[in-house]
Amino acid sequence: MLLVVNAGSSSLKLAGFAADLTQLAEARFERIGTGGLPDHKAALLQGLAQLGRPTAAAHRVVHGGAGLTAPARITPQIEAQIQACIPLAPLHNPANLQGIRALRDLMPELPQFASFDTAFHATNPCVATRYALPPAAEALGLRRYGFHGLSYAAIVRKMQESAPDSLPDRLLAFHLGNGASACAILKGRSVATTMGYSPLSGLTMGTRTGDIDGNAVLRLAEALGPTEAAQLLNRGSGLHGLGGASDMRSLRAAGTPEAAFAIDHFTYWAARHGASLVAAMGGLDAVVFTGGIGENDPQTRSAILKHLAFLGEKPVLVIPAEEERQIAREALILMA
């Protein structure tokens, strides 16, 4: 069994896969450190008791920076590179490392692999990734990286597997959930995406602002302090900040003017960013939706497509997100 590990700061998601990529079992743990489980090692022990002993493990790592642009077996050198990316993803990479190190403590000889959520966007041209900053500022790592790459890679793989020549040349992909982004996929390769240096930018999201003027961020930091400003931008904004709830089902059930505006804001900015990605591809052949909202909310899909109707009638697909299976597939390829 190949064990796929997705470790958050206080959560752990595990999935077991067979060699043919059939998912065998899964386990989820929340509130690690504040609930019944003291740390990730304890959660892993409980998860392994449920799922069984793996032959290898594969981890989701959110940020690979500019250097980690392909799946890799975890060595001391790779682990050091993941560690070096912590300033780029201070909320995510430390948790990912906790999962890697906890599993190594429990099973020192177990082969471990990593897949990077930023890697799919390594094919973006420099004109798409560079901010208009001087070299000294860029040297701090300030550039657009993009995220949800494992989800987009899974879309490409599933379309290619479904039938020969089934992948459109110019595909506009929306990953819509609590975190939301869009990606321009030209002949199977990412050429532009809406998230940037961090997962904060781009579309309106469940609790994140999406795009916001840099001077507005500086004003918030001045008024609230950097810590409170970061909390507001990442945890207290987006749909939650506009409509009082971070998920579409609650907003639709609320029926308030604020909730309706939040939904309109989400669809308007998804379409507006999507249209800019069409420019990056030089046209559009098809649109695909994935993620919790993208897969399950036809009203949201319809509203976004209505905004994009000026582009002409195009095929629209809905593909379930398969990030864990994509991670398993990448690890199995490396093992082979």
- Cα separation, 131 vs 123, whole angstroms: 16
Beta carbons within 8 Å of 257's beta carbon, 6+ residues apart? none
Amino acid 77 reads Q
The owner of tokens 């749909």 is 239
User: Contact at 8 Å (CB) between 124 and 190?
Assistant: yes
Burial (CB < 10 A; 0-12, 13-18, 19+), residue 11, is middle
User: Contact at 8 Å (CB) between 284 and 299?
Assistant: no
Beta carbons within 8 Å of 179's beta carbon, 6+ residues apart? 147, 148, 199, 205, 206, 208
Instruction: Judge whether 117 counts as a catalytic residue.
Output: yes
User: 20, 105, 117, 264: which is the annotated catalytic residue?
Assistant: 117
- Cα separation, 167 vs 217, whole angstroms: 39
DSSP single-letter state for residue 9: S
How many Cβ atoms sit within 10 Å of the Cβ of residue 188? 16
Helices and strands, counts by H and E, the chain: 14, 11
Beta carbons within 8 Å of 77's beta carbon, 6+ residues apart? none
DSSP single-letter state for residue 90: T
How many Cβ atoms sit within 10 Å of the Cβ of residue 239? 26
Enumerate the active-site residues. Answer: 117
